[in-house]
């Protein structure tokens, strides 16, 4: 792959971050809807995004894109990278607010309830799908959006996210079913 192609514009990564954060939010909402039979806006923020998924996706994009033709290694490395990110995020959130947004204590092979084997495998599979399948599709769709439209979307998404982050820095989303504090 051409090095210039890998070094995309800033808006490429901003849009990818928000797309992955939204997909992560949809995944979590659907998962909790199926298990708890109720809508729960998962995560610390009020908006329909979970930044841990966006950060994790960008991490995988930066680190493993060159391994696209080696899905087994993408799976293993995604499993490890996402597990470390999830563990550290859980720890940092609990340190900052004294609240756990997730707890895998009842799951097989968990570490301090912060990560578990099933979650790690799911993240490995999702990382493989992202790097080997979705990024090539995103790379084809991205240039079809006009520069002006991409810039507008980035500014709008960033403004909403910054306002939400500022609000939630004081009043994080800890309602019923969202965290151990709700």
pLDDT band at 179 (very low <50, low <70, confident <90, very high): low
Sign of CA dihedral 112, 118, 123, 124: positive
- 120 vs 142: CA distance, rounded Å: 29
Q: What is the model's pLDDT at position 36?
A: 85
Amino acid 35: pLDDT: 87
pLDDT, mean over the chain: 90
Q: 63-73 burial, b for 16+ CB within 10 Å, e for fewer?
A: ebbebeeebee
The CA distance from 60 to 55, in Å, is: 9
pLDDT for position 129: 98
Dihedral sign for Cα 30, 34, 40, 43, please.
negative
Of 49 and 7, the structure prediction assigns the larger pLDDT to 49
What pLDDT does residue 4 have?
A: 46
Q: For 49-83, how does the pLDDT look when each residue is reduced to its tens digit (9 = 90+)?
A: 999 999 999 999 999 999 999 999 999 999 999 99
Would you state the pLDDT for residue 173?
83
> SS3 sequence, 51-92?
HHHHHHHHHHHHHHHHHCCCHHHHHHHHHHHHHHHHHHHHHH
In the chain, alpha helices (H):
3-6, 10-36, 51-64, 71-97, 117-129, 135-141, 147-170
The pLDDT of residue 85 is 97
Sorting pLDDT into bands at 50, 70 and 90, what band is 149?
very high
Mean local confidence (pLDDT), 10-24: 96
Rounded to an integer, the average pLDDT of 43-49 is 90
Are 64 and 72 in contact by the 8 Å Cβ rule? The answer is no
Q: How confident is the model at residue 176 (pLDDT cuts 50, 70, 90)?
A: low
Tokens matching residue 10: 């800033």
């Amino acid at each position: 792959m051409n090095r210039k192609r890998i070094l995309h514009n800033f808006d490429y990564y901003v849009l990818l971050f928000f797309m992955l954060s939204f997909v992560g939010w949809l995944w979590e909402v659907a998962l909790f809807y199926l298990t708890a039979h109720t809508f729960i806006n998962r995560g610390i923020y009020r908006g329909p995004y979970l930044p841990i998924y966006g950060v994790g996706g960008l991490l995988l994009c930066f680190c493993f894109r060159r391994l696209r033709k080696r899905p087994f290694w993408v799976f293993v490395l995604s499993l490890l990278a996402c597990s470390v990110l999830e563990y550290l995020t859980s720890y940092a959130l609990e340190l900052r607010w004294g609240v756990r947004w997730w707890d895998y204590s009842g799951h097989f092979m968990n570490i301090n309830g912060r990560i578990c084997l099933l979650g790690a495998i799911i993240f490995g599979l999702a990382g493989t799908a992202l790097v080997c399948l979705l990024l090539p599709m995103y790379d084809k769709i991205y240039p079809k959006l006009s520069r002006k439209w991409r810039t507008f979307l980035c500014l709008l998404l960033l403004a909403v996210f910054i306002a939400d982050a500022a609000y939630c820095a004081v009043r994080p989303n800890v309602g019923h079913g969202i965290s151990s504090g709700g």
